Structure 1
Amino acid sequence: MKIKTPSRDDASVDMAPMIDLVFLLLIFFMVASVVTELDKVEVAIPSSDHAKVPDDTKGRMMLSVDANGQVYSGTLPVTLEELKVLINSELDLNPDLRILIRADKLVEYKTCKELMIACGEVGATDLIYATFEE
């Protein structure tokens, strides 16, 4: 029995769906990168000669202090007492809570010290400051 197969001379790949997929991925990543930038308070991060950029900042609770000394948890403005309650509830969920502090370069050290003391009083001891490496 002889089976006749069509010749493969005219076989081609349609590139239109592949191009559509590339454009969809490009748009997705452009939108996703804009969304991740919106969840931060605008802070002028200081630079330092001895800064060590941490390998992994993912999964850290982000605290920000703007130039006026206002403390933020994420983008929510909080007082130090409210912050203690938030950190305490986060520690109940995650005992290995790590905190990233983003303080404006114009913030006095006194404000940062009060923030560190508030974190320590509820048991959060893994704190790092965001700085730019020079």
Structure 2
Amino acid sequence: MQFKRQVKAEEQVNLTPLIDVVFLLLIFFMVSTTFTKETHLKIDLPEAVGDKQPTVVDQIEVVVDSHGGYSVNGRALVNKQINTLRTAILDVGGGNTGVPFIITGDANTPYQIVISVMDLAGDMGYGNLSLTTQTPEEGDENSRAAD
């Protein structure tokens, strides 16, 4: 009797489970990543010494960039007109003038623009106004003392 030899198939490593594990890890890291709130305006804050105030959930924050552009609670406005800013504040605030009104201006923003935002907030009835600053770095104080 002659038996036919069976041809052995080449042994291969099955990559399907490995690919599944990689995709599961990718999904895990994407879901577990924390996201930070970032605005699209790049601003350089003026400096001041003091304690940080606690963050309030219900607030109106107007950010003024160095070119005079406005952003209300993270949404950039289409133009630099004060009437557009007024409309955006009414949309966000809903007429509730008791919420804190925070003005964040770039250090290079013209003073008149920040004052215009403060005047607008006062005209609209907001009494709880705040201006944001950043604390000076230790190296900056030494360089200022040398100048």
TM-score higher than 0.5: yes
Between the two proteins, the alignment pairs up a number of residues equal to 109
Give 1 or 2: higher strand fraction.
1
Task: Please name the residue that 2:87 is paired with.
Answer: 85
Residues 14-93 of structure 1: matches in 2 within 5 Å?
Answer: 24=28, 27-30=30-33, 32-34=34-36, 36-37=37-38, 39-49=39-49, 51-73=50-72, 74-77=74-77, 78=79, 79-92=81-94
Task: Please name the residue that 1:127 is paired with.
Answer: 129
TM-score by length of 2: 0.60
Letter in 2 for 1:130: T
**Distance 1:45-1:57 versus aligned 2 partners, 3 A rule:** farther
**Cα deviations across residues 38-90 of structure 1 (Å, max 9, x unaligned)?**
x45221112113x4421124322221111111222223225211222332344
Between 1 and 2, higher relative CO (CA 8 Å, sep ≥ 6) is seen in 1
The structure with the larger Rg is 2
Structure 2, unpaired ranges of 5+: 1-23, 137-147
Displacement over 4 Å in runs of 4+: none
SS in 1 for 2:126: coil
* Contact 1:53 1:131 (C-alpha < 8 Å) held by counterparts: no
Structure 1, unpaired ranges of 5+: 1-19
Task: Please name the residue that 1:103 is paired with.
Answer: 105
TM-score by length of 1: 0.65
Identity of counterpart residues, as a percentage?
17
Give the Cα–Cα distance (whole angstroms) in 2 for the partners of residues 95 and 42 of structure 1: 28
SS in 1 for 2:117: helix
SS in 1 for 2:43: coil
SS in 1 for 2:88: helix
Indicate the RMSD between aligned Cα atoms, in angstroms.
2.6
SS in 2 for 1:115: helix
SS in 2 for 1:47: coil
